[in-house]
Structure 1
Amino acid sequence: MRVDYLEGTMAPVREETTLTDLAVTGALPERLNGRYLRNGPNPIGEIDPAAYHWFTGDGMVHGVRLRDGRAEWYRNRWVRGPRAARLLGEPDRPAGGAAGMDLVGANTNVIGHAGRTLALVEGGITNLELTDELDTVGPCDFDGTLAGGYTAHPKRDPRTGELHAVSYSFTRGDRVQYSVIDVHGRARRTVDIPVGGSLMMHDFALTERHVVIYDLPVTFDADRVARASFPAPVRVPARLVIDALVGRVRIPDPIAASVGRRGSGAGLPYRWDPRRPARVGVMPREGGADDVRWFEIGPCYVFHSLNAYDDGDTVVCDVVRHPKMFDTDLNGPNEGRTSLDRWIIDLAAGKVVESRRDDRYQEFPRVDERLTGHRHRYGYAVEVREGAGPSDTLLKHDLVEDTVRSRSFGPDKAVGEFVFDPAAPDAAEDDGVLLGLVSDLPTGTTDLTVLDAATLETIAAVHIPARVPAGFHGNWVPSA
């Protein structure tokens, strides 16, 4: 079914808003002192729906500040790189330079690290630092220690507080980069890893001992970029030039700009390649590229891991599996039903055992991040409605008892990703709250909803008299 990524719950809002002293139903836990932040695409100006890809919309961060049982403010702000500032009619912004390419505003995730608020994106595009009030400070390259962009999905080691990541870009060619950002916000380690082409790698997995790399069949499509960027008589030589340049030299501005150009028909320059095998790589955390072991799996694509952990000589990965991606629908992630799958990578036997844990259509899996890289029992995900309509249901997976609890918010509601915050540092795995946005479609309003993680019952709701469009990822960022 064709999805219009500019209508309904995905329709962009046209204004930045600041609202204070928000009404609350129920009682917010007093310990919640910080900001709930959520990032997502919100295109500036008029867009051609046929040419628009959901992943290329200008980034907008939404935030709610909680303190002492009150909701002090709601803010939404566009993430301002040079392009967004120009479209908004504002003074020029500095380009990303070594931080990455300035194609779209960082639109995928938003985190707190080393006292900074960071709007994240992938593909070699510039990440941007924000103030506590969500205004853009400027490009982020981790104090000059990491060039060429980052990832939308770093994993924080719960023991050390460091951020681990695997980053890709068509400017890197057939390599991805593993990096570790220390607690001071600087890269202390990078490893360049050869993979099977210039691929799109949205996520990876981390365990106590290993990094798990997803080398899956979605790759940079030079032919599509050439068709969108050059007239017919020169498309074949242009494609050959692009192929030769990818990963070797700085990409010329006209080619790079075509990746994010509105109305060009280029959309996202990645596409499903049925000729390429799917495989996962396992590298020791302190290893190098020569230490990666590769294991073939069935054809699929994975946007998001739930979690992974070591179990003797095996590595266990729980992932949301798509059967394929960007094959027939080139405007968004709409290529068939997903499932929650488990991959058991047997390092001794040299094989992967794949199994299905839950066949509900779902996405945006989250885990108690105190257990990132460690054995987990519970996971939370959003059930996706057939036909890619807005979801009204949150799922809680018990992977020990092999059961699923669901919470429906009603047919006129749309839910986004929920994140877990523990009741105390040493609380049990589901002793805490889940925070996420629930939109009321008829009224165009939104609640920041706080649930009991054990029961999925509502504890409190912060009422935002504004619509928050469907977006991607967010986090609870506690105050220092």
Structure 2
Amino acid sequence: MSTVEAFAERGTAWLIRNLQKRVPYNPENPYLAGALAPVNVESTVTDLKVTGKIPKELNGLLARIGPNPLNVANPGAYHWFLGDGMVHGLHLRDGKAQWYRNRWVGVDGVNKALGRPKAPGPRRGAIEVVNTNIIGHAGRLWALVEAGALPVEMDGELNTVKHGLFDSAVRTAFSAHPHRDPQSGCLHAVCYDPLYQNRVQHVVIDAAGQVVRRVNVPVSHGPMIHDCAITQSQVVILDLPVTFSVKSMLQGSGLPYAWNPKHQARVGLLPKQGGAEEVRWFSVDPCYVFHPCNAYDLPDGSAILDVVVHERMFDRSLHGPESQKVTFERWKLDNATRRVQRTVLSEMGQEFPRFDERLTGQPYRYAYSAGIDIDNQLPQPLIRHDLHTGKIDFHHYGPSHATGEVVFVPRSADSAEDDGWLLSYVYDLARARSQVVIVNAGDLGGEPQAVIELGVRVPMGFHGNWIAD
């Protein structure tokens, strides 16, 4: 990182902090209440009540991360995406739940407040928050955020080890959603940086944790590209009309991005080894996508992309996402017309689409998502889409239960696409307590395979993964 870049980051951070001080005090913020309210302690629980039978094949860690601010001076200025990161983990082994832990991600401000030493490693980013995803890569556990701070390595008990872009010396903005190529083991990410509003980057991390590719792709207005997708040969770039907003920043938003009707909505296909001049762009009606599910190539040069679509985003609220309408759609990126053909598969509110990641970039049958109702925090079921038949099935966790992101774990390396388990952290709105629920993927309508009572609250948050031992 150059001296100019470091100065720009410090200046941006100073400006955002001071503009937020101008926001009138307001004790009310929906992202600090109910199921989203932060917890104020780090816990270790080993006496875990289990109902049912934990499959002995499940040996590993179910990790989840989300915003959990230590201190909020003015709730009226708080944005959900900017809360201090907290990692939650449940470790399973030999059919037993060994422990649950939650730990704050050790960025400098958190460690200082908790009286802990500064973690080693380089720093970057105007905002010191790492709170969006947690993955296993290069044999270790990494907490991630987009467009700002570097990843943070966590150990097997969720303690912070170091900061850095995996094992690379590169200090560039990364993504919360890299996607692993099943053939090469490389992570592919599309990364944006508010300091560089005229380009995004395709960044590739090899299986050993080294940066092996960085390609600049020209864009305009500084779009927020939260996620991407990969096919067997290409990377999908979602250049949609949520862009950097000076107006939002001047209003005191810590996340200065907003709906921009002047920004042309388009989707790009970049060859995995290609340059920016090889991107094929496909126009699409204005909308926003946080999370694609999966994508794959078609023989005629077109591609299929399944996505959760928001009609608009960051159009009103300065505190978090507001969804006027949400649909699950199949997009065909038509090579002949260079337009996106949209087919609505479901109009039910949902987010966090997942699938059997052994099939990343390939045709697949089942997509899983979590029902959402952010405004009312109502019970939220697991949703399964059969993409061959169009049938939609549900697993309802209970009359007051809401599931977070669901992770599919196959029974074995060569088992069928629906032969495995669906694991998620589930919040009981009536008791303000959390569980981990294991559902048999082949029997969504049946009783859960196992329910592990954590005895604590795990606030509804962002993303997580299964990291096998």
Per the normalisation by structure 2, the TM-score is 0.90
**90, 93, 114: which one pairs with 1:64?**
90
In structure 1, the residue matched to 2:160 is 136
Aligned amino acid, residue 381 of structure 2: T
Per the TM alignment, residue 381 of structure 1 is displaced from its structure 2 partner at its CA by 0.6
In structure 2, the residue matched to 1:407 is 395
In structure 2, the residue matched to 1:200 is 224
**Larger deviation, residues 452-461 vs 300-309:** 452-461
Per the TM alignment, residue 391 of structure 1 is displaced from its structure 2 partner at its CA by 3.5
- Pairing of 1:121-270 with structure 2 (within 5 A): 121-225=145-249, 227=250, 265-270=252-257
**452, 459, 464: which one pairs with 2:449?**
459
Per the TM alignment, residue 367 of structure 1 is displaced from its structure 2 partner at its CA by 0.7
User: Percent same amino acid at aligned positions?
Assistant: 46
In structure 2, the residue matched to 1:319 is 307
Secondary structure of the residue that 1:9 maps to in structure 2? helix
In structure 2, the residue matched to 1:330 is 318
Q: How many residues align?
A: 439
In structure 2, the residue matched to 1:450 is 438
Report the Cα distance in structure 2 between the residues aligned to 1:374 and 1:21, rounded to whole angstroms: 41
- Pairing of 1:379-458 with structure 2 (within 5 A): 379-385=367-373, 387-456=375-444, 457=446, 458=448
Residues 390 and 415, structure 1, Cα contact 8 Å, conserved in 2: no
Per the TM alignment, residue 116 of structure 1 is displaced from its structure 2 partner at its CA by 1.1
**Larger deviation, residues 175-184 vs 136-145:** 136-145
Per the normalisation by structure 1, the TM-score is 0.88
- Pairing of 1:248-327 with structure 2 (within 5 A): 265-313=252-300, 314-327=302-315
Report the Cα distance in structure 1 between the residues aligned to 2:324 and 2:184, rounded to whole angstroms: 38
Secondary structure of the residue that 1:84 maps to in structure 2? helix
Per the TM alignment, residue 61 of structure 1 is displaced from its structure 2 partner at its CA by 0.2
In structure 1, the residue matched to 2:72 is 46
Residues 29 and 75, structure 2, Cα contact 8 Å, conserved in 1: no
Per the TM alignment, residue 169 of structure 1 is displaced from its structure 2 partner at its CA by 1.0
Q: Which string of whole-angstrom CA distances, capped at 9 and with x for unpartnered residues, describes residues 172-200 of structure 1?
A: 22111111111111111121111122111
Change (3 A) 1:397 1:191: same
**Larger deviation, residues 382-391 vs 470-479:** 382-391
Report the Cα distance in structure 2 between the residues aligned to 1:146 and 1:375, rounded to whole angstroms: 34
Residues 84 and 104, structure 1, Cα contact 8 Å, conserved in 2: no
**102, 116, 128: which one pairs with 1:104?**
128
Aligned amino acid, residue 27 of structure 1: K
**61, 78, 81: which one pairs with 2:107?**
81
Aligned amino acid, residue 449 of structure 1: V
Confirm whether residue 471 of structure 1 aligns to residue 461 of structure 2: yes
Report the Cα distance in structure 1 between the residues aligned to 2:372 and 2:131, rounded to whole angstroms: 21
Report the Cα distance in structure 2 between the residues aligned to 1:129 and 1:320, rounded to whole angstroms: 30
**110, 113, 117: which one pairs with 2:137?**
113
Q: Which structure 2 segments of 5+ residues have no match?
A: 1-27
Secondary structure of the residue that 1:174 maps to in structure 2? strand
Per the TM alignment, residue 423 of structure 1 is displaced from its structure 2 partner at its CA by 0.8
Change (3 A) 1:155 1:388: farther
**Larger deviation, residues 343-352 vs 271-280:** 343-352
Per the TM alignment, residue 335 of structure 1 is displaced from its structure 2 partner at its CA by 3.0
Q: Which structure 1 segments of 5+ residues have no match?
A: 229-264
Secondary structure of the residue that 2:100 maps to in structure 1? strand
Residues 380 and 397, structure 1, Cα contact 8 Å, conserved in 2: yes
Aligned amino acid, residue 23 of structure 1: K
Per the TM alignment, residue 151 of structure 1 is displaced from its structure 2 partner at its CA by 0.5
In structure 2, the residue matched to 1:258 is none
Q: Which string of whole-angstrom CA distances, capped at 9 and with x for unpartnered residues, describes residues 423-443 of structure 1?
A: 111111111000001122233
Change (3 A) 1:46 1:386: closer
Change (3 A) 1:69 1:408: same
Change (3 A) 1:3 1:341: farther
Change (3 A) 1:47 1:450: farther
Report the Cα distance in structure 2 between the residues aligned to 1:114 and 1:95, rounded to whole angstroms: 17
Per the TM alignment, residue 84 of structure 1 is displaced from its structure 2 partner at its CA by 1.6
CA RMSD after TM alignment: 1.6
Secondary structure of the residue that 1:118 maps to in structure 2? strand
